[in-house]
Structure 1
Amino acid sequence: MYNDITPIHEHKKYWAECFGTAPFLPTSRKEMDALGWDSCDIIIVTGDAYVDHPSFGMAIIGRLLESQGFRVGIIAQPDWNTKDAFMALGKPNLFFGITAGNMDSMINRYTADRKLRHDDAYTPNNEGGKRPDRATLVYSQRCREAYKGVPVVLGGIEASLRRLAHYDYWSDKVRRSVLFDAKADILLFGNAERALIELAHRLSDGEDISTLTNIRGTAVNLAQAPEGFNVIDSSRIEKPRKEAFIPPNPYAVEEQCDTNADKKAETKVAAQPITIRPSRHDAQTSAVRLPPFEKLNNDRILYAHASRVMHLETNPYSGRALIQRHGDRELWINQPPIPLTTEEMDFVFGLPFARVPHPMYGKAKIPAYDMIKTSVNIMRGCFGGCSFCSITEHEGRIIQNRSQESILSELEEIRDKVPGFTGTISDLGGPTANMYRLGCSDPKAEANCRRPSCVFPGICNKLNTDHKHTIDLYRAARQVKGVKKVMIASGVRYDLAIESPEYVRTPEAIITFFT
């Protein structure tokens, strides 16, 4: 399926590949000079401290772009009160990439009671106040001030979850898509490796940012929706209709009065199952129009309807583009990105991460790094579809797995690179630890499924729940030289675990050894 897509590690490299791999992506002009760079092709602005580790978004994106041959700089937690901090690395040749960080900046800065937090786990010494409210908006505006005309690209979880008109808890109202408020050129949602690589290469080939409207996993601000699409109107809720009253036929022959009733009963044909074939629109050429922003602000039911439609269109193989009117402009959300293959996942997690914070922080402690420095992410995505969780909306419900070889290789890297490693792996997991290598057993059904969850209200009969690969991984992890103990700190779904009894009964059982 989708065999025509170029794997992310097989794109032709940009000319700047000749500069090689940086020990750390540069954060200052001095570091750029040491690398022999006269400029950056791409500058990533982030609300987190720069930690060169695959659990930090700026590191994964930066190293991925570097692998494509681009010169990537990092501006981490800049002073947002002036544009000067955003000019520290000079003008980027291609674009600014903006991310609020690994968390939504409002959640990072405020408690559920809307009280200001005084700490920040993603900042050296756990210091609060190093990022602004709605960091995506503020950083975008400062980048525009610093260098007019340079494309601004939004990414990260804050932008991803606010790509449509959305309810904002902090202001208790529905806000516009963050793309409009940030006045950015394009928004990338999800993990976005595929979209980012395509975007960077097309810009480097001379295409204008305004023409890049058809990249999967992106949202753009248009004057009008693209032509050639069959638009399905879902901008209103159709109310139930009353059944038309059909009076009985006075001339109908009652069965008990029919003299041929016995004969008809003898020749009655056996009942046949009814096959319903709903008309389906080609996902590649269809788009669904959502209720406009202006109507959602005062209609909770319509807002719920828009949210439901959005969730039903998240299958990357059958999901359609979405359109939402904002004033006199159209928000165009392209189809979801195609999940990464195991080979591509191995490539991403095999990039040359230093696995430690940037040296500019000295001996300062970064709590978020301390928590994950000996953990390993074995997969992405979750098919739980829980209403309180954003993972499915951000990463999708199709599990993207790493190979066992890639995971074991990372364990060895942790052993060799992480200062003070004592032999304990703090987590071998992901969004849900025991969804590794699980998924739909019927590719055709998976490509057309619109169920928000594969496990609610009951486990789908097409879901493969065999935990064999997970058990084999646990066994192999315990055999890595220098690894004394492996913990599972990610969530474990017990409804899936009991479907594979050996997962909790074998000597490598999670209950016995891994908690």
Structure 2
Amino acid sequence: MNKLSDWLPTTNKEVKLRGWEELDVILFSGDAYVDHPAFGHAVVGRILESYGLRVAIVPQPSVNDNLQDFTKLGTPKLFFAVTGGCMDPMVSNYTASKRSRDKDAYTPNGDKGFRPDYATAVYSNILKEKFPDVPVLIGGIEASLRRVTHYDYWSDTLKPTILEESKADLLVYGMGEQPLREIVSLLQKGVPFSSLTTIKQTAFLLNKNEEVPKNKNWKDVSIHSHEVCLKDKKLFASNFKVIEQESNKLFANRIFQDVGNSKLVINPPYETMTESEIDASFDLPFTRLPHPKYNKRGAIPAFEMIKFSINIHRGCFGGCSFCTISAHQGKFIASRSQDSILKEVDQVANMPDFKGYLSDIGGPSANMYKMKGKVQEICDRCVAPSCISPVICHNLDTSHKPLTELYQAVDKHPKIKKSFIGSGIRHDMLVPEFNTKANPKELDDYTEEVMTKHVSGRLKVAPEHSSDPVLKLMRKPSFKYFHKFKDRFDKINIRKKLNLQLIPYFISNHPACEVEDMANLAAETKDMGFQLEQVQGFTPTPMTVATVIYYSGYHPYTLKPTKTPKSKHEKEEQHRFFFWYKRENQAWIRKTLTKVGRQDLLQKLLPTTNSWKKNKGEKVKNTFDDAIPFNSRKKKKFNKKKKR
């Protein structure tokens, strides 16, 4: 039975329960406090605690009253830490069409209004006003993705580094364990916070007159200033190639950018976490539960979704143009040991309300566990943003055997009745015609293992589009490989008598996508027997190729003009093709395709004699307005009542 002191303190009463007279670090978060390794503020709090620090968390502080939440715990000895939450607050608060969301998944009962827009800057500015002499350290996905000049979709403006707007002293980008370890170590040795200028994976602002800190191990590269970016969209676009490549190098350069009278300094990232490092993070003493203060406020949807799930790795080498995972977690995979994973499985299995079903064993992508370069020296020199686009790198070991063995080890636990794979599976890596260096039997073994033992009726994959030019820009493989995967899926489905559904994800109004591309997508997926369910409109989020194109009109790698649907009318027209079967759309489809001379597509979608029958169990889910960006998609809450 947990007691209140098992959580990090959130009030003065809880601080006193631990016998503390003062705090070393006070952490402010835009999310409710859930003491679980999937919640960034909990991980940071537990890491700092493991270094012997006295840490408290202030979750979702009120910014609409006398601001007492920011002063109630007093002044920390070392610094304030601030995060906007597990999602960028603007994604949490608004839909793709900029309407307020009805729910906030990281708040009890899904209640909205507990997280301000641009939360990191809001919290940091308040702290700087109340405690001008106390350092503020910002981190999390909002700070990480807004560390340089970036386009903000919700205000439709080009914003400077979040360090400028937040007035924070230091920014940690990416996953924070490694830089935090060095920050705390130096502070404990008596190094002033203002001297923390050569720590990897951090960023800060200098006055232009100040001397840049020296580091003989780093080379420096400058990108166009914020003021230049404001004047020239093409030069803004050119910045991104440098930023993305340096973010994904194992041995990167330090980046400089002028911002007004200041100079932004972005130190190179750390090397990928070792197995022992990532194990140490997940093995911290989490209660895995929301703080008891929320017991009467209702369930926290994001927690309910991952309550019985296991995260087995970080990072993603897909490098999709619309996705921020690699920008935050990195391109290279950091995998946990099987022992650490099984230890967590045992912890979950012994939770009082666990019924025997794990909702997910996965990560950013379900099937990248233990995958890495065969020859490390080749990876050390690599600047490619993706390891699998346009083709799978010859140096990438894509063996699915360790993952298959992990699933089997998990299922041997006496309290596990069934383990599901809820994370998205990279279907392209399971197609031998695309993954030509892999062992076809291993790919088939993994696919069959997932389909027969780890799916509850439906397997979700993400081809994203059917147009090869759009897919090339997305850094996704040709749609022909989805056809080949579906063929393999269907054969196993029939041979094993599984009666499973294949559920593909698709995106409309992505850069390079035209109305005819969407009509083709509708016609081709209809011909394959799909009535699409998981669909969304492209939402520009900071630090992606697609967002740079959306704002600037130029591809950052080629600097060639690239068209993007931008007006509300264009976006809605493209999205409408997903729902070709709705009666209210059919006259519009006839008119649109007749106008562009595509009678062939019209005949496929709306033949004169329509004998096409709907697929079994098909439904329509996400509307354009409710779409959530790829990197923030929510897995469905596990339905215990489904046929097992």
Q: Is the TM-score greater than 0.5?
A: yes
1:327–1:434 Cα change, 3 Å: same
Q: In structure 1, what is the equivalent of residue 309 of structure 2?
A: 375
Moved more, 298-307 or 438-447: 298-307
Q: CA deviation at 1:316?
A: 4.4
Residue type at the aligned position of 1:360: K
Asked if the contact 1:471/1:503 (under 8 Å) is kept, the reply is: no
Q: CA deviation at 1:144?
A: 1.6
Question: Unmatched 5+ residue regions in structure 1?
Answer: 1-20, 230-281
- Please point out which of 276, 300, 306 is paired with 2:233: 300
Q: In structure 1, what is the equivalent of residue 75 of structure 2?
A: 91
Q: In structure 1, what is the equivalent of residue 634 of structure 2?
A: none
- Please point out which of 151, 158, 179 is paired with 1:167: 151
- Please point out which of 9, 20, 27 is paired with 1:37: 20
Q: CA deviation at 1:205?
A: 2.4
Asked if the contact 1:173/1:297 (under 8 Å) is kept, the reply is: no
Instruction: Find the aligned partners of 2:312 and 2:299 in 1 and give their Cα distance.
Output: 26
Q: CA deviation at 1:43?
A: 0.7
Instruction: Find the aligned partners of 2:214 and 2:76 in 1 and give their Cα distance.
Output: 35
Asked if the contact 2:30/2:119 (under 8 Å) is kept, the reply is: yes
- Please point out which of 471, 475, 498 is paired with 2:408: 475
Q: In structure 2, what is the equivalent of residue 207 of structure 1?
A: 191
Asked if the contact 2:79/2:137 (under 8 Å) is kept, the reply is: yes
Q: In structure 2, what is the equivalent of residue 247 of structure 1?
A: none
Are positions 1:434 and 2:367 aligned together? yes
Q: Aligned residues: percent identity?
A: 44
1:126–1:228 Cα change, 3 Å: closer
- Please point out which of 129, 134, 142 is paired with 2:118: 134
Q: In structure 2, what is the equivalent of residue 285 of structure 1?
A: 218
C-alpha RMSD over aligned residues: 1.6
Q: In structure 1, what is the equivalent of residue 201 of structure 2?
A: 217
SS of the residue 1:445 aligns to: helix
C-alpha distance after superposition, 1:26-55 (max 9, x if no partner):
000101111100111101100000000000
Q: In structure 2, what is the equivalent of residue 513 of structure 1?
A: 453
Q: In structure 2, what is the equivalent of residue 255 of structure 1?
A: none
- Please point out which of 115, 120, 134 is paired with 2:99: 115
Moved more, 108-117 or 309-318: 309-318
Q: CA deviation at 1:328?
A: 1.5
Are positions 1:366 and 2:300 aligned together? yes
Q: In structure 2, what is the equivalent of residue 504 of structure 1?
A: 444
Q: In structure 2, what is the equivalent of residue 261 of structure 1?
A: none
Q: In structure 2, what is the equivalent of residue 443 of structure 1?
A: 376
Instruction: Find the aligned partners of 2:74 and 2:54 in 1 and give their Cα distance.
Output: 13
Are positions 1:411 and 2:318 aligned together? no
SS of the residue 1:313 aligns to: helix
Moved more, 125-134 or 138-147: 138-147
1:147–1:227 Cα change, 3 Å: closer
Q: In structure 2, what is the equivalent of residue 398 of structure 1?
A: 332
Report the number of matched residues. Answer: 441
Instruction: Find the aligned partners of 1:403 and 1:227 in 2 and give their Cα distance.
Output: 38
SS of the residue 1:434 aligns to: coil
- Please point out which of 4, 25, 29 is paired with 1:46: 29
Q: Which has the larger radius of gyration?
A: 1
Q: CA deviation at 1:196?
A: 1.1
Residue type at the aligned position of 1:321: R
- Please point out which of 7, 24, 46 is paired with 1:63: 46
Name the one with the larger helix percent: 2
C-alpha distance after superposition, 1:106-155 (max 9, x if no partner):
11111111111231110011100001110001100111233221100000
Q: In structure 2, what is the equivalent of residue 236 of structure 1?
A: none
Instruction: Find the aligned partners of 2:418 and 2:247 in 1 and give their Cα distance.
Output: 38
Asked if the contact 1:503/1:510 (under 8 Å) is kept, the reply is: no
- Please point out which of 206, 226, 234 is paired with 2:212: 226
Residue type at the aligned position of 2:372: G
C-alpha distance after superposition, 1:258-305 (max 9, x if no partner):
xxxxxxxxxxxxxxxxxxxxxxxx9x3311100000111232211111
Moved more, 454-463 or 316-325: 316-325
Instruction: Find the aligned partners of 2:204 and 2:309 in 1 and give their Cα distance.
Output: 36
Residue type at the aligned position of 1:226: V
The equivalences for 1:198-277 within 5 A come to 198-224=182-208, 226=212, 228=214
Asked if the contact 1:478/1:486 (under 8 Å) is kept, the reply is: yes
Instruction: Find the aligned partners of 2:88 and 2:94 in 1 and give their Cα distance.
Output: 10
Asked if the contact 2:26/2:57 (under 8 Å) is kept, the reply is: yes
- After TM superposition, the score normalised by the length of structure 1 is 0.83
C-alpha distance after superposition, 1:209-261 (max 9, x if no partner):
211110000001012462657xxxxxxxxxxxxxxxxxxxxxxxxxxxxxxxx
1:356–1:228 Cα change, 3 Å: closer
Instruction: Find the aligned partners of 2:184 and 2:311 in 1 and give their Cα distance.
Output: 26
Asked if the contact 1:504/1:510 (under 8 Å) is kept, the reply is: no
